[in-house]
Amino acid sequence: MQAQAILESALYAEDLDAAEAFYTAVFALPLIRKQPGQCTFLRCGAGVLLLFNPKASITPDPANPIPRHGSIGPGHLCFAATTADIPLWHAHFRALNIPIEADHIWPTGARSLYVRDPAGNSIEVGEPRMWGLA
């Protein structure tokens, strides 16, 4: 057996409203649903971005059979972009006054941009060919 895709990815943010506003405004991710103070779920293509309050996600909940999880400190997520879209993302971040932490060219020639979300997570927009993917 081999996994074929990542269905969901999780990031952690104590201020879920600020995180939701960031991802819906900057990346145009539509809201699927949320539980105020606990979690927010956003659609990204064929996958889902899960935003969890780290304090709420580690608290035991006898009514919820899903194993508790959480993270302390900044996480990382990379959104895929085409070669043609990278300069557009650069301009988009600049227009929204979002500091670009790094503009990196990989040995494959792929380019990545790095910004931070309101919780301090490292968010990358990069070309899949950095990993040899089309």
pLDDT tier, 107 (very low <50, low <70, confident <90, very high otherwise): very high
Mean pLDDT check: name the lowest of 4-8, 62-66, 110-114.
62-66
The domain covering 73-134 belongs, at the CATH homologous superfamily level, to 2,3-Dihydroxybiphenyl 1,2-Dioxygenase, domain 1 (3.10.180.10)
The answer to whether the beta carbons of residues 8 and 50 sit under 8 Å apart is yes
What is the per-residue pLDDT for 2? Answer: 85
pLDDT tens column, 43-94: 999 999 999 999 988 888 888 888 888 888 899 999 999 999 999 999 999 9
Same fold, 1-59 and 73-134: yes
Residue 15 has pLDDT above 90, yes or no: yes
Edge-to-edge, what's the strand order for the sheet holding 102-105?
A: 76-80, 122-126, 111-116, 102-105
Domain covering 1-59, topology: 2,3-Dihydroxybiphenyl 1,2-Dioxygenase; domain 1 (3.10.180)
Edge-to-edge, what's the strand order for the sheet holding 31-35?
A: 8-12, 47-52, 39-44, 31-35
What percent of the chain is modeled with pLDDT above 70?
100
Domain ranges across the chain: 1-59, 73-134
CA dihedral 24, 7, 39, 119 (to 10 degrees): -60
Residue written as tokens 């500091």? 99
